[in-house]
Structure 1
Amino acid sequence: MVSSVASVLAERKEAGSGALIGYLPVGFPTFDESVDAAVAIARNGVDIIELGLPYSDPVMDGPVIQKATQHALANGFKLSHGFDAVRAITSRVDVPVLLMTYWNPVVQYGVERFADDLAAAGGAGLITPDLIPDEGADWLAASERSGLDRVFLAAPSSSDARLRQAVDASRGFVYAVSTMGITGARGDVDKAAQILVSRLREAGCENACVGLGISTAEQVREILAYADGAIVGSALVKALADGGVDRVAAVARELAQGTARAN
């Protein structure tokens, strides 16, 4: 089973560069603008799109993303809009699109039905921040059947056994959380990320991508010196909030300058 996400990461490695992964929420500031913004970042250097499903209790999201997702919910976001967005984006750009969602909405929707609808829309898979592999049997089975990638999180506080579980259960990449706590752009990306990626490699991880707190091309370059992908969220969401689609495209272009690394 070929993972479209792993294929892109392998291509970037082959080219001597790492991947830039960009997060945006569906429905912010409007549904159409969220689709246009995702297409714009893909056309300006983002290799993989992480599309967030707005949720009423976003425990892992920082203030910028929380504000955007609350705005989308107030505008009437429904879970099915996530599949509509994936379909609209993948019809315009050839970039893997992963949905990022808390687990409860998937259970409410129906795990098998969710997997089928995401695959039918052209989605690459799911990032599940609050689902741990040993509680994810239903999703492991559904993603196996539907060929979807599954991205589990690893944190600096994770035990070696937990890291091995995340590595074994993930397909596409393991999401290495660079700092403890919530998302948000930080001046200095936590050094714990480097140690965490090193521990993931020891656990057999082929693709480790680092997220939480990355906001500049220099930080992207720093991360890609040891990781396979750099995940940027708040900086892109803030750009979209401040200056619309043109601004988020420009920020993506700036961030992408950090992906070229010395061979």
Structure 2
Amino acid sequence: MNEITQALKNKNAFIGFAVAGYPNFEKSAKYIVDMANAGADLIEIGIAFSDPSADGPTIMNADQKVLENGSKTEDVFRLITEIRKDTNVPLVFLTYTNPVFKYGYEKFLSKMKSLDVQGIIMPDMPLEEQEAFINIAQQYGRAFIQLVTLQSGNRLPKIVSHASGFIYVVSSLGITGSRHKLSNEANEIVTRIKELTDIPVAVGFGINTYDQAKLFSSADAIIVGSALVKIIEEHPDDATTYLTEFIQKMKGARNATN
């Protein structure tokens, strides 16, 4: 968890996202390393799932391609092993509860520790059912990252009390995907969270332009997912230059706010 805090300490961090195994195993490993080399401070690794309820069409299509290629959880772990040969950038998994439950909570978290994956996000695990998982995560020193939405309301203090690593503020209602307009309400939520905790706060969902990256100056980081997956979708054979230019542009926007 210290690696996550260290990565987000400068208050202008960029968190990228990639679907493990997309567009294929070799390119996926390369593009994640490329993101780190381009300046991503932390990278979320999405584990493909057949019913990704929080994801929009871009990430769903990537998930479907990965599942059609026959990817299993062990393939994701093998991918991390390859990535770790070339970068020490902090990594967190983004997945759903069922695959982790089927693999076994303790076994999964133990594997994360051995692979140097610092944290995990599971958006569909209800707050009321998290205690057992949090206890195991703490035993293995892995962060269980909490999501806060525009509708969290009075539940916010309880969500924050469960958080570790960083807190993920969902900037808009609905599913993941690029948006033309984003609400400024997320900044208000970030301010409320910072009154309750010193844990870093990141804002994501829909951020895909330079101007949008500048909107959330109150946050310690922005998270960009669908826009990066879209770049890989459009340039599956050689996305390196496009990913690098995009990340450096968004990092420039973050630096301009501080």
TM-score bucket (shorter structure): over 0.9
| 1:60 aligns to 2:54 (yes or no) | yes
Unaligned 5+ residue runs, structure 2?
none
Aligned to 1:249: 244
Match of 2:129 in 1: 135
Q: How far did 1:233 drift? A: 0.3
Match of 2:193 in 1: 200
Contact persistence 1:131–1:152 (CA under 8 A): no
Aligned partners of 2:158 and 2:26: how far apart in 1?
38
Please give the alpha-carbon distance, in whole angstroms, between the structure 1 residues aligned to 2:135 and 2:257.
Answer: 40
User: Equivalent residue for 2:222?
Assistant: 230
- The separation in 1 between residues aligned to 2:160 and 2:76, in whole angstroms, is 27
Distance in 2, matches of 1:206 and 1:200, equals: 9
* Offset of residue 132 of structure 1: 3.1
Alignment correspondent of 1:19: 13
Q: Assess if the C-alpha contact under 8 Å between 1:22 and 1:231 holds in 2.
A: yes
Q: Percent identity?
A: 33
Matched with 2:253 is: 258
Q: The residue matched to 1:73 in structure 2 has which SS?
A: helix
**1:216 equivalent in alignment to 2:209:** yes
Distance in structure 2 (CA, Å) of the matches to 1:163 and 1:203: 9
TM-score, length basis structure 2: 0.94
Cα distance in 2 between the residues matched to 1:145 and 1:206: 19
The letter for the 1-side match of 2:248 is R
Contact 2:165/2:199, CA 8 A, preserved across alignment: no
Residues 90-132 of structure 1: per-residue CA shift (max 9 Å, x gap):
2211210000011111101000000001111111110111123
Q: Which residue pairs with 1:155 in the alignment?
A: 149
Deviates more, 1:133-142 or 1:226-235: 133-142
1:188 aligns with 2:187: no
Establish whether residue 74 from structure 1 lines up as the match of residue 68 from structure 2.
yes
Moved more, 194-203 or 34-43: 194-203
2:171 maps to 1:178: yes
Task: Describe the SS at the equivalent of 1:197.
Answer: helix
2:123 aligned with 1:119, yes or no? no
**Which AA in structure 2 matches 1:80?**
E
Q: Give the aligned residue type for 2:194.
A: R
Query: What's the CA shift string for 1:25-74, capped at 9, x where partnerless?
Result: 00111011111111001111211000000000000001101001110000
Equivalent in 39, 42, 50 of residue 44 of structure 2:
50
Shift of 1:202: 3.0
Q: Which residue of 2 aligns with 1:8?
A: 7
Distance (whole Å) between structure 1 residues aligned to residue 102 and residue 251 of structure 2: 37
Unaligned runs of 5+ in 1: none
Q: Please provide the CA RMSD for this pair.
A: 1.4
Instruction: For 2:6 and 2:248, locate their aligned partners in 1 and report how far apart those are by CA, in whole Å.
Output: 22
Q: Secondary structure at the match of 2:179?
A: coil
Shift of residue 205, structure 1, vs aligned partner: 5.0
- Structure 2 CA distance for partners of 1:70 and 1:185, relative to 1, 3 Å: same
- Runs of at least 4 residues of structure 1 off by over 4 A? none
1:166 maps onto 2:159 in alignment: yes
Letter in 2 for 1:70: Q
* Deviation of 1:250 (Å): 2.6
